[in-house]
Amino acid sequence: MREVRLAFKNLAFVFQSRPLMIVFSLASVYTAAMVYLLLGWDLWNIDQLKNTVFWFFSVGLMSIYNLEKIKNDPHFFKNSVVGNLRVLAILQFVVGIYSLPLLAELFLVPFMVVVGMMIPISESDIKYLQVKKFLNGIVISFGLFTLVYTAYMLATDFKELGQEKTFYDFIVPALLTVMYLPFVFAMIAYSTYETVFVRLKFTVQDRRLRRLAKLYAVVLFNFRLEAIRRWADHIARVEVVSHKQLLNTFSHLRKLKKLEKMKPEVFGSQGWSPYLAKDFLLSEGVSTGYYNLIFADQWCASSKMYDVGDDLLCDNFAYYVEGVEGVAKVLKIKLNVNDNSRACQANERLLVLSGVLVRKSLGIDISDSTKDALRFGAPYCESHGDKQIIVKKTSWGGHKLGGYDLKIEVVAT
């Protein structure tokens, strides 16, 4: 019981913190402004007060709580709009405010049911990406049509609205969520800049240069949050003790963006274009970050760690593109196996990825010898002109479950 009371005291202390209260107040004021607008548009009435309060605490505040997760989801805003248009798309038939002509309903109802059943299937595998986009396009188009049709009927035949409150119950939360997105974006922008500016204290020691860095960042990047995060990562890796060096960090980023857009050709004997090589495994759902300077003249792009299986301590792998400025020299997939009893499943996944990598990088099918080396974790090397395929295994000494890492590298020699 004492622990429970202590937990409540700690929770109360957190809620009394000044930054949290400021965010809570701003969210409250913004929500009140949204309600005022909806009221002026005859899309909100007092019966919706309970729903609005529930929405505020369940969606509004939770969006702020999940800011860090939202930051890392480049599709959050698009998905939020799509998700809420899906809600509005089924509004016509769920609520039954106005009926379409009989023949139209006989066709559209089963058609939209089938589309709705196909969407989760299309989301299960990246190879269905184009199908997913097409289905979402159908749903969004239908949602927009429903909105226009319902608005027209409300304007011309409002007396027939037999379930006005139910209509508001469905439409108000969706509208609040869509209208709330600019506030969420503003909070993300503030949080991003705050994080970057805190990091500058450690990367730029001169106070005057640090103030200039902040000013230039706001002016040059404004709401391009991905760009300022890239700049912050770069400036942390280089020395900035003069105004010229500070300006070079911005010109470096412009240069990178130009290279990424042009994807300059690289002679086969040198290696690969890193801007193409980093996408070699996209067909397997594996994507990397940007190809960036790491230190000195070493450049790298790497993916996140992808899980293999769904165990508590599952195996994982990552894809790396390593080289120098403008040229990738090493393409590497590294598999970490945390439990030797799962080696077969994990190695087979690496084998599939390796087949794609070899085909994309060398234009040939992976050899049987390389396949055997990957299956059994045996060291192996084979040459193809000025390129090599290398398989390496490193056992983790003393690991209770016999863990190891297995790598395949395609190297430009």
Residues 7 and 153 in one domain: yes
Among residues 233, 279, 239, 236, the alpha carbon closest in space to that of 256 is found at: 233
Residues 109 and 51 in one domain: yes
Q: Tens digit of pLDDT for each residue in 277-289? A: 999 999 999 999 9
Residues 139 and 221 in one domain: no
Q: Which domain, by its residues, includes 222?
A: 204-262
CA distance 172 to 48: 8
pLDDT of residue 14: 43
pLDDT of residue 22: 78
Residues 279 and 256 in one domain: no
Residues 313 and 402 in one domain: yes
Q: What percent of the chain has pLDDT over 90?
A: 40
Residues 214 and 107 in one domain: no
Question: 201 CB contacts (<8 Å, ≥6 apart)?
Answer: 210
Residues 281 and 339 in one domain: yes
Residue 165: CA count within 13 A, CB half-sphere:
6
Q: Which helix (H) or strand (E) holds 102?
A: helix 102-122
**What is the tally of helices (H) and strands (E) in the chain?**
16, 8
CA distance 116 to 99: 20
Q: Is residue 267 part of a domain?
A: no
Residues 213 and 84 in one domain: no
Say if residues 191 and 67 touch (Cβ distance below 8 Å).
yes
Q: Is residue 237 part of a domain?
A: yes
Terminal alpha carbon distance of the chain = 67
Domain count, the chain: 3
CA distance 268 to 63: 48
Among residues 274, 254, 251, the alpha carbon closest in space to that of 264 is found at: 274
Q: Tens digit of pLDDT for each residue in 100-143? A: 566 776 676 667 656 655 665 565 556 556 777 777 788 778 76
Residues 287 and 226 in one domain: no
Residues 139 and 240 in one domain: no
CA distance 124 to 127: 9
Kindly give the parts of the chain with pLDDT less than 50.
1, 3-15, 81, 84-85, 87-97, 162
Residues 280 and 406 in one domain: yes
Residues 228 and 118 in one domain: no
Domain end, chosen from 135, 160, 190, is at 190
